[in-house]
């Protein structure tokens, strides 16, 4: 391994830009050598902003570049698995945005390629790196709250995505809840064995017409007896709502939302604060930085990545179980899926 | 109706004492005329404390007293339904502690007697009168948070009751969750149609040996599409945990716990407050007062009681559905029960 | 001493009614034997409400009644000192509303009479009995926050009193700040030696025309080196604002306001709670009860009252020092006053 | 003006590093052309980290460089004023760390040079750019809380600086309170006319031996009648305490401290959160970035800097008034100083 990790950036959209800037400005242990995107203008803009020397016409150029050690796959979801296979075959370490794919077949193929090539893979479940959720995980690991019994995850978006996105996203469970499924595993450090999903269309009938739901509570049962819920809604009028709480044998821990400031205004009407940070680019900005830095460090130091390829598979199984539970109106064991 | 409501108190235990003092000291519209309890010393003590002129040897004496307009049934649960029938037949209005009974047969018999006698009946679901939950109900009624979508009830006791109580209580769903089932109906103002209960023994194996559970999350589906959860545990190490939150189309409302003071201490270790009010006699003291005052007013003014006999029946149906769901590992429709 | 303390109530206004109800309904160790007020209707109403057997035409009747052990002086301020003298001479224990008087001469005469008669006297500084401020005092006594260094008292009314009251109240320092001067002594447990008062008319020019101020910050220096401030305003648009904080060598303690409920509403506009408890009759209701109970217990058990006659004198000295400081624009030592 | 602002960095200590990284990584409108520091290793390290092409042996080299448009003066305080004069004479725009100097003579000389050269100058009062205090300022500007009446600034360090620093810092008022004096002017948008400082040695007798104080409350009177306090202590055991609150005619606004996470842990001991962000490099990191970006934008767009040279002078006058007030034990008018 060279002293600096050389990286190729695949995808110049919103999240590609975030990761590119992190590498360029915050991670001295890594260099960006090349970027590619079907939208050449977007790729060129990032290259200029981040000082990336080469804009490639295709991912093949990235994979063929011997100087590149690792790739960040930030392209559209349906390309993740194939690109991961190609990257692995080219001997590149992989940071891949979530989810790897919507089908277990393609996910398994990607994982097999990664394992065969003995490259490292990290999945972009950035919320694990948020200071709040990391604090909750730490409280469980350290024994501060004892053995966990009950878990709640609240995860609500400020507003629904465009219907065009809903139609291709794989559905709310695969596109939105996927983060919460990962969080459920991360916080408790144990596998879920059964899922019961109660869901409905409450926000926009068009979402229903597109075959999806927009509001759900998902009940989780863990191998170790923990019981948990995930609360999802495509629309919280007050903004992005991201909280968790865990009850354990010695205590409980709960996280509050993040706000743009800590000011409280008291008038003749109410005692109030401003709305929470509006969406994931503000709320989770720090976590995006930490996850990429940790990926670079894992490759440079040859340690396990903090979110492995296997960690990318299970949440998809959970999402498929949730969907099956919703459609059949009964608890579904994960063993029924895969 | 006389200008003051004359009341007979049946039961001189903990809750009988609370209600007796409320009538004696806080509700000028009512008089306590008599008290009875199998434990004559307890009855005599309350009579002295509250200035009740007569200690009766039996409930029959209470029912036979023409001057008594209404009774407060604060005796043990297994006597509630029969006493309600007798009270109704004697033409007395009834305030009855929850639950009316553990069986629908006895409940229905009591309700029939009440209806036939055209007396009023109120069930002791005091938490409806808590200023926090009343505020949540008001926010839904007023449209402040729009149409409700999702509901969470957290209801955890500071510690488990004695095993001797567990053996006769009818189980956690009938003894503890019964309050939360009522709260679920009260807050949303709509009926639950289906229940899925995930429960386990996490706190004390003796509870399991007694045939009960001590930890549960119960998923509720309402006729109007609302989805809710109830989180129950027999033991929260930090004390009594009683919170609700509701997400609606225009906003959300959430209540925090009640504390003995509003002091925050910051030291080199942490920024902290004292533990919440420890149990229901402290936390819900005000609500006990309000429910009895409202009962007296309902009788005096001949209006509907705020928690009707029918309101006493449904939570028992819900508890039986939860138990069945737990035993059969599947969602159970309330229509399967009754 | 008889087994029950027999009490005469002098004054049937707002605070007389509060204390009367406390004695009647919450303090089994005491009886109300008589009540008097220039407004006979008011006295009669309280007598009826609280079951007081006798409505007296004058205070003389109270003092002459051999069965009466103690009096509650709840009449207008200008009568306090003279009534205290008469009560002492009649051998009655005294609970006296604050302030004893606006002049040190009359205060000293009252204290002398109390001392000569060897009766007990308690001054109605009820805020010492508030659970929040009591918690702060406890944290200092217990050493939880170490040696105190700095103190802040915020004490703002929801709105100014009528101008007619301002003209006779003795001014803001004697009428409103007097409570905070007592709090300043109570919390730190040490005497203030110097006061600098910066004050102005900010709320209502009519208050200025009446010779008073409505807004002030008063800087306090203690014998033990502690430095403190009192923040007063006759008008806080959001309601009654009553907070303190203390920094010590090992930590700090701060109290928040009291609210009618613990609900937080989040909408597209803000994350908010309802306004604080509006004024002292709501906010300090519990403290009124505790102070009277403690007075009764002090007399019954022959122990020191928790707020002594001397405790009633010093805050008046402080108010006079604050007034002098305001008028002369310089720090004033308490030794300059008395 | 060229399209990018070329900057020379003077001083490679802690704050020089912060500003250097901001320019290098966060402000695309500026370039760092050169850096200098008596400690050449420190200068070289920053140059490497931030990609600065030239490490200069002296400030003269910086001033002589025609390509440099502006300098950041991050050297020791006693050099600020002379460097500002030289920079102005060389036609460079100036960002200068606070305070400009401890003497009004040198400050006035610097300001005169700046005015004569018609260059821009900004003083490093970074806290104005903190999201919390900016929100308070906005609430006053927008009329959200009406006309301000009362102000409190709490500003406590986690622990005292080394005695060696205390001896050269100019004293607590000039070194620590200087930020709060600026904040007092910034929040209210009006000048202070009189100061009364009550101060003492409470934390460390060595500080007293060095001729300084470590604990103070400073009372401020404004030209528009506002009354305010600054609460300073060199040691808050729980960490860095930085809060303000303002009462106005229509409401109040108060800011809370900043924490590393939003987790609340409840155990059998307490309900607690972790300690606040520990010191200014964590708490005010964002504000350091914003102030430098705003300086660059002010120069590039030829607008007024957000903290002018005059804004750098007044807090020093206030500090000198506070010192005089402390020494003479009386309120001091700012007009007595300068």
Tens of pLDDT, residues B211-232:
999 999 999 999 999 999 999 9
Residues in contact with B181: Cβ distance below 8 Å, sequence separation at least 6, in sequence order: B192, B230, B314, B315, B318, B319, B322
Subunits next to C (3 or more Cβ pairs <8 Å) are A, B, D
Contact B202 A149 (CB under 8 A): yes
Nearest CB to A266; choose among D252, D260, D268 = D252
Domain count within chain C: 2
Number of neighbours of residue C211 by Cβ within 10 angstroms: 9
**Min Cα–Cα distance to chain B from A145, Å:** 9
Which residue in C has a C-alpha nearest to residue D326's C-alpha?
A: C331
Tokens, residue A90? 């080219």
C25 interaction partners in chain B (CB closer than 8 Å): 25-26
Distance CA A117, CA D274 (A): 43
ipTM of the complex: 0.95
**CB proximity A264 to C under 8 Å:** no
Residue D51 pLDDT level (bands cut at 50, 70, 90): confident
Q: What is the mean pLDDT of chain C?
A: 96
> Does one domain contain both D151 and D46?
no
The angle subtended at Cα A117 by Cα A113 and Cα A118, nearest 5°, is 115
Give me the pLDDT at residue D1, please: 46
Within a domain: residue D295?
A: no
Residues in contact with D241: Cβ distance below 8 Å, sequence separation at least 6, in sequence order: C252, D154, D155, D156, D257, D276
Find residues 168-197 of chain B whose CB sits inside 8 Å of chain C: none
Within a domain: residue D112?
A: yes
Give me the pLDDT at residue D2, please: 53
> Does one domain contain both A63 and A114?
yes
D202 interaction partners in chain C (CB closer than 8 Å): 147, 149, 225, 249
**CB proximity A237 to C under 8 Å:** yes
Tokens, residue C219? 């800087």
Residue D94 pLDDT level (bands cut at 50, 70, 90): very high
Q: Is-contact C320 C172, C-beta < 8 A?
A: no
DSSP D222-244: ETTS-EEEEEEES--TT--EEEE
Tokens, residue B177? 């969750």
**CB proximity B215 to A under 8 Å:** yes
List, for chain B, all residue ranges whose pLDDT scores fall below the cut of 50.
Answer: 1
Contact D233 C202 (CB under 8 A): no
> Does one domain contain both B138 and B278?
yes
Domain CATH number, residue C278:
3.30.360.10
Tens of pLDDT, residues D280-321:
989 999 999 999 999 999 999 999 999 999 999 999 999 999
**CB proximity A2 to D under 8 Å:** no
**CB proximity C1 to B under 8 Å:** no
Number of neighbours of residue C45 by Cβ within 10 angstroms: 16
Distance CA B123, CA B121 (A): 7
Subunits next to A (3 or more Cβ pairs <8 Å) are B, C, D
Coil/strand/helix, residue A96: strand
Length in residues, chain D = 338
pTM of the full structure: 0.95
Last residue of a domain, one of D85, D119, D153: D119
DSSP A191-260: -EEEEEEEEE--S-HHHHHTT--SEEEEEEEETTS-EEEEEEES--TT--EEEEEEEESSEEEEEPPP-S
Within a domain: residue A215?
A: yes
Give me the pLDDT at residue B102, please: 94
* Domain span holding position A109: 5-119
pLDDT at D127 over 90: yes
C132 interaction partners in chain B (CB closer than 8 Å): 261-263
**Min Cα–Cα distance to chain A from D153, Å:** 14
Distance CA B171, CA A320 (A): 35
Coil/strand/helix, residue C313: helix
Within a domain: residue C296?
A: no
Residue by residue, pLDDT tens for chain A (338 residues) are 457 899 999 999 999 999 999 998 889 899 999 999 999 999 999 998 888 999 999 999 999 999 999 999 999 999 999 999 999 999 999 999 999 999 999 999 999 999 999 999 999 999 999 999 999 999 999 999 999 999 999 999 999 999 999 999 899 999 999 999 999 999 999 999 999 999 999 999 999 999 999 999 999 999 999 999 999 999 999 999 999 999 999 999 999 999 999 999 999 999 999 999 998 989 999 999 999 999 999 999 999 999 999 999 999 999 999 999 999 999 999 999 97
Beta strands in D167-248 (DSSP E): 192-200, 215-222, 227-233, 241-248
Beta strands in C63-158 (DSSP E): 70-73, 93-96, 121-123, 148-156
Tokens, residue C336? 């300059």
> Does one domain contain both C62 and C180?
no
Contact D271 B270 (CB under 8 A): no
Subunits next to D (3 or more Cβ pairs <8 Å) are A, B, C
Distance CA D62, CA D82 (A): 14
Q: Is-contact B29 B2, C-beta < 8 A?
A: no
The position carrying tokens 């000192």 is C81
Domain CATH number, residue B103:
3.40.50.720
Last residue of a domain, one of C119, C142, C177: C119
Which residue in C has a C-alpha nearest to residue B136's C-alpha?
A: C263
**CB proximity D51 to C under 8 Å:** no
Q: Which residues pair with B73 in a beta bridge?
A: B10, B96
Within a domain: residue B297?
A: no
Q: Is-contact A120 A93, C-beta < 8 A?
A: yes
* Residues above pLDDT 70, as percent of chain D: 99
Distance CA D134, CA D150 (A): 18
Q: Measuring CA to CA, which residue among B83, B27, B23 is closest to residue B47?
A: B23
**How many cross-chain Cβ pairs, A to D, lie less than 8 Å apart?**
88
Beta strands in chain A (DSSP E): 5-10, 30-36, 54-56, 70-73, 93-96, 121-123, 148-156, 192-200, 215-222, 227-233, 241-248, 251-255, 263-267, 271-273, 332-333
Peptide bond into B119 cis (omega under 30): no
- Containing C4, the helix (H) or strand (E) segment is none
Within a domain: residue A90?
A: yes
Contact D267 A250 (CB under 8 A): yes
**How many cross-chain Cβ pairs, A to C, lie less than 8 Å apart?**
45
Give me the pLDDT at residue C1, please: 46
Within a domain: residue B9?
A: yes
> Does one domain contain both C47 and C92?
yes
CB-facing half-sphere around the CA of D295: CA atoms within 13 A: 35
- Most A-contacting residue of C156, C256, C258, C272 (CB-CB within 10 A), to test interface: C272
Which residue in C has a C-alpha nearest to residue D195's C-alpha?
A: C198
> Does one domain contain both C279 and C224?
yes
**CB proximity C209 to B under 8 Å:** no
**Parallel, antiparallel or unpaired: strands A54-56 and A30-36:** parallel
Tokens, residue C113? 């009479």
Distance CA B216, CA B173 (A): 9
Tens of pLDDT, residues A178-236:
999 999 999 999 999 999 999 999 999 999 999 999 999 999 999 999 999 999 999 99
Angle, helices D77-89 vs D104-117, to 10°: value is 20
Distance CA C215, CA C176 (A): 11
> Does one domain contain both A214 and A328?
yes
Looking at residue B243, what DSSP letter applies? E
> Does one domain contain both B25 and B151?
no
Radius of gyration of chain D (CA): 20
Mean pLDDT in residue range D163-179: 95
Looking at residue C264, what DSSP letter applies? E
Which residue in D has a C-alpha nearest to residue A25's C-alpha?
A: D25
Nearest CB to A229; choose among B199, B229, B233 = B229
Q: Is-contact A293 A168, C-beta < 8 A?
A: no
Q: Which residues of C273-286 are buried (b: 16+ CB within 10 A; e: fewer)?
A: bbbbbeebeebbee
Give me the pLDDT at residue B2, please: 54
Tens of pLDDT, residues D225-278:
999 999 999 999 999 999 999 999 999 999 999 999 999 999 999 999 999 999
Tens of pLDDT, residues B239-279:
999 999 999 999 999 999 999 999 999 999 999 999 999 98
> Does one domain contain both C93 and C205?
no
* Chain centroid to CA D296: 17
D267 interaction partners in chain A (CB closer than 8 Å): 144-145, 250-252
Radius of gyration of chain B (CA): 20
Tell me the helices (H) and strands (E) count for chain A, helix number first.
13, 15
Tokens, residue C197? 């008062």
Find residues 113-152 of chain C whose CB sits inside 8 Å of chain D: 146-147, 149-150, 152
Distance CA C16, CA C5 (A): 17
List, for chain C, all residue ranges whose pLDDT scores fall below the cut of 50.
Answer: 1
**Min Cα–Cα distance to chain B from D251, Å:** 21
Give me the pLDDT at residue A2, please: 54
Q: Measuring CA to CA, which residue among D333, D95, D129, D145 is closest to residue D246?
A: D145
**Min Cα–Cα distance to chain D from A275, Å:** 13
> Does one domain contain both D76 and D216?
no
- Most D-contacting residue of B271, B274, B275 (CB-CB within 10 A), to test interface: B271
Coil/strand/helix, residue B315: helix
Give me the pLDDT at residue A28, please: 83
Contact A270 C274 (CB under 8 A): yes
Last residue of a domain, one of A97, A119, A141: A119
Distance CA C37, CA D157 (A): 56
Tokens, residue D105? 């003579």
Give me the pLDDT at residue B247, please: 98
> Does one domain contain both D244 and D261?
yes
Within a domain: residue D140?
A: yes
Phi, psi at D327, each rounded to 5°: -70, -35
> Does one domain contain both B202 and B331?
yes
């Amino acid at each position: 391994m060279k002293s600096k990790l050389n990286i190729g950036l695949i995808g110049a959209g919103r999240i590609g830009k975030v990761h590119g800037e992190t590498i360029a400005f915050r991670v001295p242990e890594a260099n960006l050598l090349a970027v590619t995107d079907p939208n050449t203008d977007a790729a060129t803009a990032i290259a200029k902003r981040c000082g990336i020397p080469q804009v490639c016409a295709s991912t093949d150029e990235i994979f063929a570049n011997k100087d590149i050690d690792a790739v960040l796959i930030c392209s559209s979801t349906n390309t993740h698995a194939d690109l991961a296979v190609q990257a692995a075959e080219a001997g590149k370490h992989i940071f891949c945005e979530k989810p790897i794919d919507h089908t277990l077949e393609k996910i398994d193929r990607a994982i097999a390629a990664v394992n065969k090539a003995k490259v490292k893979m990290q999945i972009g479940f950035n919320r694990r790196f948020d200071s709040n959720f990391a604090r909750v995980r730490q409280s469980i690991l350290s024994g501060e709250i004892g053995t966990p019994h009950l878990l709640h995850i609240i995860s609500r978006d400020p507003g629904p995505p465009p219907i065009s996105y809903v139609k291709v996203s794989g559905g709310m469970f695969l596109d939105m809840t996927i983060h919460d499924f990962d969080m459920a595993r991360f916080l408790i450090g144990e596998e879920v064995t059964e899922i019961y999903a109660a869901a409905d269309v409450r926000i926009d009938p068009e979402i229903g017409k597109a075959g999806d739901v927009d509001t759900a509570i998902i009940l989780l049962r863990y191998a170790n007896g923990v019981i948990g819920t995930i609360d999802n809604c495509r629309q919280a009028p007050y903004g992005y709502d991201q909280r968790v709480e865990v009850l354990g044998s010695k205590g409980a821990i709960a996280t509050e939302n993040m706000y743009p400031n800590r000011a409280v205004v008291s008038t003749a009407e109410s005692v109030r604060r401003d709305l929470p940070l509006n969406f994931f680019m503000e709320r989770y900005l720090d976590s995006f930085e930490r996850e990429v830095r940790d990926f670079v460090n894992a490759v440079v130091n040859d340690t396990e990545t903090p979110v492995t390829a296997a960690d990318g598979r299970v949440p998809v199984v959970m999402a498929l179980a949730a969907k099956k539970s919703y459609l059949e109106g009964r608890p579904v064991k994960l063993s029924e899926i895969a």
